[in-house]
């Protein structure tokens, strides 16, 4: 082995370890790998950022914008109402819902398709007398399966075709993935709709309102006349045991105490940190005469201290000033009879899920200006599998978190829309603008047609589609850049030069020879299955785009070592990278349902493992027939 091969292997190993560790976001890890390759002399500084202009990266960004146009126009809502049966049984309804999710994922971002259909799935679960998780997991897996059916269905397909182009074999066409992808998706949807949904753990009894969201951690303040004032924590916990709640901390005189002595007494003004499910919160409040901390008006001093904790002084002052101005404005408005209806408008409690790559990720409630900007409160937070010990307003939010919000429904909807969240209550489907529906649909259709019939390269065809969307306002100009999933774009742009370094140093061929000589024993069919299974395994543990970028050079190397066509091996990478069903971290859609479904980390493999076996069983014969070695 040469020195360059040792270096790229070390960088690659470190990158995979960082992906699996998950402490840093995937795009940060990819950028670190790119810089390491530049510093090691494996990538020329002048070529370090060429990946950001790669056609695959441009195409992914454009597809995300066009997907947003379909969303904004109401085209998906109109399709949903026509496709989903209103009174059918479980099998037919699940088949239709998964089929719709798979179809949409073939032509738009699959995370976007999942987000659009989640509220529908929760409503369907109630009608079918199923737990939400028994519908959400099939829907998530259906949208993942649908992504493999077209070139633009998922980023790994675009990465695979880009590596084929660099191997001087030409890129895959728009529907080259369809024969195998459609067969695998159809088999997967049929299995899940007929049998698989029964393997999904039911985390809540069917037939009751709402859905299992795990335990919330919320804060309640003890009022002067509260029953809890003067009681010991032990006495309070005895009564809380009957409503499935427990005290996990206390704030006395602005000092947070964890694992407090049960004999400690609490008094008026103290704050209890309570862990309870959503249904138990009202029982806790009513039985002790407590009040949710976020509903308690803070005095000016506490507001200033709270909002300036992690903010510069000038910003904190600005927030306090804004809050004061809004308060004065409210007082003035209350004197106007015309505004009485507005001031006495409906206030609701609504749960919203934080989407992957939401702008809220890494921010706290105080950072998000919930009160001053949106006029809403964060009452509680649920993060499945992790007990949250921080003060509620200082908790850094993560994708998959469930937030219990209080405020006017239109304000909560505005907050969710602007910050990348999904309201998990029944939503009124928007009335589609027929003109916008046709415009956005035709733009997508022509962009796909231009690429499918070879009239234009895919990147150019979809870029023209984006320009048309901007000109016709199917995507508002201010939202064009918000529609792009920038961490994925950075991930792709950074990893493409790293993957090229694997080829130029001969490292991909080295790994390929090791796999063929020591595992496959020179058998091409075993080698193909090995590439498929290894790719699928890595995709369950790290980002699917990163998996495709790492495995494509190895797949090409395996094919060259065996002296066979690399097409079947690249297709195996595309299939394996798109089939992440064993863990909640393998795909963003899996992460998205973790909280709303009340799932635990180990719940996914119960349905995911048999589904992955079906994927291998269906795809291997088709690979050998449609893309012969």
Determine the pLDDT at residue 341: 30
Burial code (b: 16+ CB inside 10 Å, e: under 16) for 581-593 equals bbbbbbbbbbbbb
| Residue 98 confidence (pLDDT) above 90 | yes
Query: Which range among 207-211, 238-242, 452-456 has the greatest average pLDDT?
Result: 452-456
Determine the pLDDT at residue 344: 34
Tokens 């995370």 correspond to: 111
Tens digits of residue pLDDT in 40-50: 999 999 999 98
Tens digits of residue pLDDT in 486-508: 887 888 788 888 878 887 888 87
| Mean of pLDDT over the chain | 78
| Residue 314 confidence (pLDDT) above 80 | no
Tens digits of residue pLDDT in 348-406: 677 888 887 788 888 876 677 776 778 777 777 777 645 555 566 667 888 888 887 87
297: which DSSP letter? P
For residues 499 and 537, is the Cβ–Cβ distance under 8 A? no
Mean pLDDT of 595-622: 88
Token pair listed for 103: 């179809």
Q: Tell me if residue 63 falls in helix, strand or coil.
A: helix
Tens digits of residue pLDDT in 168-202: 888 888 899 999 999 999 999 999 999 989 999 88
pLDDT > 90: percent of the chain: 19
Determine the pLDDT at residue 333: 38
Tens digits of residue pLDDT in 125-176: 878 888 888 999 999 999 999 999 998 888 899 889 988 988 888 888 889 9
Tokens 């921010």 correspond to: 363
For residues 258 and 327, is the Cβ–Cβ distance under 8 A? no
Please count the residues of the chain.
629
C-alpha distances out from residue 263 to 233, 260, 290, 326, 488, Å: 6, 8, 20, 43, 51
510 or 77: whose pLDDT is higher? 510
Mean pLDDT of 42-69: 86
Q: How confident is the model at residue 417 (pLDDT cuts 50, 70, 90)?
A: confident
* DSSP assignment string, 306-371: HHTTTS-HHHHHHHHHHHHHHHHHHHHHTT-GGGHHHHT---EEEEEEEPTT-TTTT--TTTTTII
Q: Tell me if residue 54 falls in helix, strand or coil.
A: coil
Mean pLDDT of 474-478: 82
Mean pLDDT of 424-442: 66
For residues 601 and 385, is the Cβ–Cβ distance under 8 A? yes
pLDDT > 70: percent of the chain: 81
Mean pLDDT of 443-459: 85
Burial code (b: 16+ CB inside 10 Å, e: under 16) for 314-349 equals eebeebbeebeeeeeeeeeeeeeeeeeeeeeeeeeb
Mean pLDDT of 213-222: 69
Residue 268's closest CA among 220, 219, 229?
229
How far apart are alpha carbons 406 and 625 in whole angstroms?
57
């Amino acid at each position: 082995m040469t020195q360059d091969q040792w270096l790229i292997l070390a960088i690659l190993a470190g990158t995979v370890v960082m992906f699996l560790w998950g402490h840093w976001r995937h795009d940060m890890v990819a950028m670190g790998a790119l810089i390491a390759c530049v510093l090691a002399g494996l990538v020329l500084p002048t070529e370090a950022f060429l990946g950001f202009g790669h056609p695959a990266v441009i195409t992914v960004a454009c597809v995300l914008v066009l997907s947003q146009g379909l969303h904004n126009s109401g085209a998906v809502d109109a399709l949903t109402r026509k496709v989903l049966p209103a009174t059918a049984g479980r099998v037919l309804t699940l088949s239709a819902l998964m089929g719709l999710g798979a179809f949409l994922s073939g032509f738009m971002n699959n995370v976007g398709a999942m987000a659009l259909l989640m509220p529908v799935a929760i409503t369907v679960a109630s009608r079918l007398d199923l737990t939400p998780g028994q519908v959400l997991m099939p829907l998530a897996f259906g949208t993942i399966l649908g992504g493999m059916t077209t070139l633009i269905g998922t980023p790994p397909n675009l990465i695979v075709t880009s590596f084929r182009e660099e191997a001087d074999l030409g890129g895959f066409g728009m529907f080259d993935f369809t024969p195998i992808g459609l067969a695998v998706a159809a088999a997967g949807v049929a299995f899940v709709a007929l049998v698989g949904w029964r393997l999904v753990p039911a985390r809540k009894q069917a037939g009751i309102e709402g859905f299992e969201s795990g335990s919330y951690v919320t804060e309640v303040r003890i009022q002067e006349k509260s029953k809890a004032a003067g009681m010991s924590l032990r006495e309070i916990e005895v009564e809380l045991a009957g409503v499935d709640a427990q005290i996990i901390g206390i704030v006395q005189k602005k000092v947070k105490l964890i694992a407090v002595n049960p004999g400690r007494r609490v008094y008026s003004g103290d704050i209890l940190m309570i862990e309870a499910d959503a249904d138990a919160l009202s029982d806790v409040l009513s039985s002790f005469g407590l009040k949710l901390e976020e509903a308690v008006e803070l005095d000016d001093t506490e507001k200033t201290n709270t909002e300036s904790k992690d903010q510069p002084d000038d910003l904190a002052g600005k927030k306090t000033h804004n809050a004061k101005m809004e308060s004065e404005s409210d007082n003035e408005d209350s004197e106007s009879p015309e505004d009485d209806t507005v001031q006495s408008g409906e206030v609701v409690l609504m749960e919203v899920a934080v989407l992957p790559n939401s702008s809220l990720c890494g921010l706290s409630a105080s950072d998000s200006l919930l009160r001053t900007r949106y006029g809403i409160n964060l009452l509680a937070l649920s993060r499945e599998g992790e007990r949250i010990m921080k003060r509620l307003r200082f908790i850094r939010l993560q994708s998959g978190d469930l937030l219990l919000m209080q405020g006017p429904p239109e304000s909560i909807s505005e907050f969710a829309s602007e910050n990348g969240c999904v309201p998990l209550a029944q939503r009124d489907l928007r009335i589609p603008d027929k003109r916008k529906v046709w415009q956005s649909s035709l733009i997508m259709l022509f962009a796909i047609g231009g690429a499918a019939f070879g009239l234009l390269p895919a990147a150019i065809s979809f870029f023209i589609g984006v320009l048309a969307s901007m000109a016709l306002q199917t995507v508002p100009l201010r939202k064009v850049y918000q529609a792009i999933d920038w961490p994925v774009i950075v991930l792709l742009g950074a990893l493409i030069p790293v993957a090229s370094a694997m080829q130029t140093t001969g490292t991909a061929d080295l790994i390929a020879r090791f796999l063929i000589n020591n595992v496959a024993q020179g058998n091409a069919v075993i080698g193909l299955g090995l590439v498929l299974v290894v790719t699928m395994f890595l995709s369950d543990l790290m980002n699917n785009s990163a998996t495709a970028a790492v495995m494509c050079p190895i797949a090409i190397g395996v094919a060259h070592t065996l002296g066979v066509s690399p097409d079947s091996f690249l297709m195996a990478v595309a299939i394996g990278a798109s089939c992440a069903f064993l863990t909640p971290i393998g795909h963003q859609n899996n992460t998205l349902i973790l909280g709303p479904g009340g799932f635990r980390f180990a719940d996914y493999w119960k349905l995911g493992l048999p589904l992955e076996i079906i994927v291998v069983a269906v795809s291997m014969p088709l690979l050998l027939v449609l893309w012969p070695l």
